[in-house]
Chains A and B, each alone.
Chain A
């Protein structure tokens, strides 16, 4: 499938549906180590993204950019500027010819934006811990095409998400808890895995 406007719209719609369905889960995870608003915040933001008319954009990059800005202005918590930055950077690098390497570069630009915005590193118990191994797996399988690369990325993302459970948080509100943040799955890594899994279902 080409990485066109329709595909990107399906990606955002699939992510929005997953977030909506799992809003209570995300909020519960956030209640354990944060401020219990990740699910409701992301659900509100993605509902606003889905309300965008894809027909009013002339490129997938323009649509993704607007989706990012929409999250920035509707989510409210730290997830707004984080997911907003991710989508803006991904939009900025979106490949015109739909090849696997180009999509990998675009996603990595998004990761770089997150690293810069959140000043987080791998191991800090954040969405980075899911996204970073996911993109490494993507790159390792990019030669097989977008489909296999995204499937590998989704699996690595989920593994990275699960691996946040024993970690002690170093960034965000969970870091206030120190050692007590260990034993809980990171909500941001959980929603990030939904985003990459949605990509694997819609872009490949």
Chain B
């Protein structure tokens, strides 16, 4: 698993961002997260503190993604990379993603066991989910996750339907959560399916959006699943049965959220 370092001018901001992002991953698979924020209790960034956070995180992970807030956070992070062991620096990346969106995407993606490049790509694309929700993008966001085999266009969708007809699993659930498939349950779903040797694609059959890869929180969010929408899953691969169980667990949690709401 990769780890995450949050660099911010403000310790309260960094800690709150981490507190917001951590529950997005499924329980028990949260990646290691270190914070380097503020200087002497005030605003600022400190390259030495960042380098310590990188070293601590890199030693126990396969790579480190650094999420930064503003201005000198980048300068200080770049300098920190020169201060750490070159072997650790070589498997560390600074993300240009917006802090909160990028952190959520990184935490969820890292929790699936995805590699550094995949987590970095998901974090970097995090802004596009917000753009999509605001209607600023006409085209649905395509997954940046390289391991996905989700079809990305209508021609591929037809192929996928043929494949599904040949005995692979599928699953449908009418979303009961009054908030729809929002970031937290979506993150938990992506996180719980992570690491399985199975390919899951999701379609909002009510609106016709999709299919998209369930390996990417980004693309799942672009389905815009609201309460009452039907979420359809196609599942292929050696561990398809396990993936189906995870989807059933997700549906149970959603039903509970529907009753609570």
Contacts and interface: CB of A to CB of B under 8 A. Distances in A.
A72 B49 CA distance: 9
Contacts of B62: none
Contacts of B79: 72, 81, 84-85, 117
A78 B49 contact: no
A69 B47 CA distance: 9
A177 to B, nearest CB: 14
Contact of A69 (B43, B48, B71): B48
Interface in B237-257: none
A80 B78 contact: no
A105 interface: no
B71 A80 contact: no
Contacts of A81: 47, 72, 75-76, 78-79
A158 B176 CA distance: 69
User: Main SS of the interface on chain A?
Assistant: helix
A82 B39 contact: no
Given A72-B79, A78-B72, A84 B40 contact: no
A76 interface: yes
A74 B78 contact: no
Nearest to A45: B39
Given A69-B48, A72-B47, A73-B47, A78 B40 contact: no
Contacts of A72: 46-48, 76, 79
A85 B46 CA distance: 13
B40 A80 contact: no
Contact of A73 (B39, B72, B75): B39
Nearest to A173: B71
A74 B39 contact: yes
B40 to A, nearest CB: 7
A72 B72 CA distance: 11
The range of chain B's interface size is: 10 to 19
Given A72-B47, A73-B46, A76-B46, A82 B40 contact: no
A173 B47 CA distance: 19
Contact of B40 (A74, A118, A172): A74
B66 to A, nearest CB: 14
B47 A77 contact: no
B53 to A, nearest CB: 13
Interface in A140-173: 172-173
Interface string B30-65: 000000000110111111110000000000000000
Nearest to B72: A78
Interface residues of A, number: 19
Contacts of A172: 71
A128 interface: no
Given A80-B44, A81-B76, A81-B79, A73 B49 contact: yes
Contacts of B71: 77-78, 172-173
A128 B78 CA distance: 19
Nearest to B39: A76
Contacts of A78: 71-72, 75
Contact of A76 (B45, B48, B78): B45
Contacts of B46: 72-74, 76, 80
A42 B9 CA distance: 17
B44 A77 contact: yes
26 contacts: A41-B44, A69-B48, A72-B46, A72-B47, A72-B48, A72-B76, A73-B46, A73-B49, A74-B40, A76-B40, A76-B42, A76-B43, A76-B46, A77-B71, A78-B71, A80-B39, A80-B45, A80-B47, A80-B72, A80-B76, A81-B47, A81-B78, A81-B79, A82-B75, A84-B47, A172-B71
Given A72-B76, A74-B46, A118-B75, 20 more contacts: A44-B40, A69-B48, A72-B79, A73-B39, A73-B48, A74-B39, A75-B39, A76-B42, A76-B45, A76-B46, A76-B72, A77-B71, A78-B72, A80-B39, A80-B45, A81-B76, A81-B78, A82-B75, A117-B78, A117-B79
